[in-house]
Amino acid sequence: MGHRVALAFEDGVTRFIDMGPNELVADAAYRLGLNIPMDCRDGACGTCKSFCESGKHTKGSYIDDAMTEDEAKLGYVLTCQMKVQSDCVIRIAASSAVCKVKPVVLKTTVKQVRQLSASTVGLTVTLEPGATLSFLPGQYMKVGIPGTTQNRSYSFSSMAKGGEVDFLVRNIPGGMMSTYLTAQAKPGDTVTMTGPVGSFYLREIKRPLLFLAGGTGLAPFLAMLEDIMRTGSGHPIHMIYGVNTDADLVEMAKLEAFAADNSAFTFSTVVADAASSHPRKGYVTHHMSDELLCGGNVDIYLCGPPPMVDAVRNFLEAKGIKPANFYFEKFSASETM
């Protein structure tokens, strides 16, 4: 079986290439019309220098002017010399437009709409026969609203399997997508999607992880956890899932199943409503213990509204904690209505 490489461009667009035997990454990309910037093919200019975030590979031959040994040790590669030995994720130091990457547009069919709570709707769509969809867990699609020229961005809440994929949608009264899903959508409707997009995705797990989810910001973590359950993790993973009211807690059965299937994963829930009887009240920052922060030896992933992102940043700064990595995705009502 050949290996698959994800090329993650600076503007958040990702494209996947299936590698041929002993094929150079640049050659495989050009074969598919993905024009990675390059001024030579000999490992001499450094124009195609990129960063390999995960996966096994050989770096080939190159000169110091193109890439230093220190850069190579950090994970940099020259795509004109690189050959892969496993699936890899490569961060390309250029935008998709510069590399002439064409957007991928998919026509999908509504299979199911689920009212998970007053604030959250679950959407399941089916791909056309023969269509494929590859993305990094945590990324999103631009989803067209049927009957309009508008689209909204939603993170995948599952990995693609059996020709299906799931999303979580915040239900905003009067919102165009919310109105469509709660009052008009029916199985068989055609929904057009463009993507995948986003630089918020699961990286190779090298240390403890702390997932912070706010409301429908739970969605990308469900996809990440599904992928982790498939590949496994040698490091502990804890999620703090914060919502406004008790009723806003959704997909609890999935989280409980993930925790039951993998002892490395634990989670806690937090409700902001002071009138709630929930055992943990307040905001996620009220429950980010020193134990979870590991003195900074932790990768933090956060998906939630802008005030939540700012609150976590301020909390970490006040604690004097600088995590090894801090990845976040902000969303606002205007982006999801």
pLDDT one digit per residue (tens) for the chain, 337 residues: 689 999 999 999 999 999 999 999 999 999 999 999 999 989 999 999 999 999 999 999 999 999 999 999 999 999 999 999 999 999 999 999 999 998 899 999 999 999 999 999 999 999 999 998 999 999 999 999 999 999 999 999 999 999 999 999 999 999 999 999 999 999 999 999 999 999 999 999 999 999 999 999 999 999 999 999 999 999 999 999 999 999 999 999 999 999 999 999 999 999 999 999 999 999 999 999 999 999 999 999 999 999 999 999 999 999 999 999 999 998 765 444 4
Q: What is the pLDDT of residue 1?
A: 63
| Rounded-to-integer distance, Cα 331 and Cα 337, Å | 11
CATH 3.10.20.30 describes domain 4-91: yes
Interstrand relation of 237-243 and 49-54 (parallel, antiparallel or unpaired): unpaired
Residue ranges covered by each domain of the chain: 4-91, 105-197, 209-336
| Rounded-to-integer distance, Cα 278 and Cα 64, Å | 59
Q: Classify 89 as helix, strand or coil.
A: strand
Nearest 5°: the CA angle 92, 103, 337 is 105
CATH 3.40.50.150 describes domain 209-336: no
Neighbours of 36 (CB within 10 A): 21
Q: If you count them, how many residues does the chain have?
A: 337
- State the CATH class of domain 105-197: mainly beta
First to last CA, the chain: 42
Contact 220, 157 (CB under 8 A): yes
Q: State the pTM of this model.
A: 0.92
Q: How far is CA 118 from CA 46, 108, 147, 167, 250, in A?
A: 53, 25, 24, 16, 10
Q: What is the pLDDT of residue 331?
A: 76
Interstrand relation of 49-54 and 88-91 (parallel, antiparallel or unpaired): antiparallel
Q: What is the pLDDT of residue 335?
A: 45
Q: Classify 121 as helix, strand or coil.
A: strand
| Rounded-to-integer distance, Cα 94 and Cα 7, Å | 11
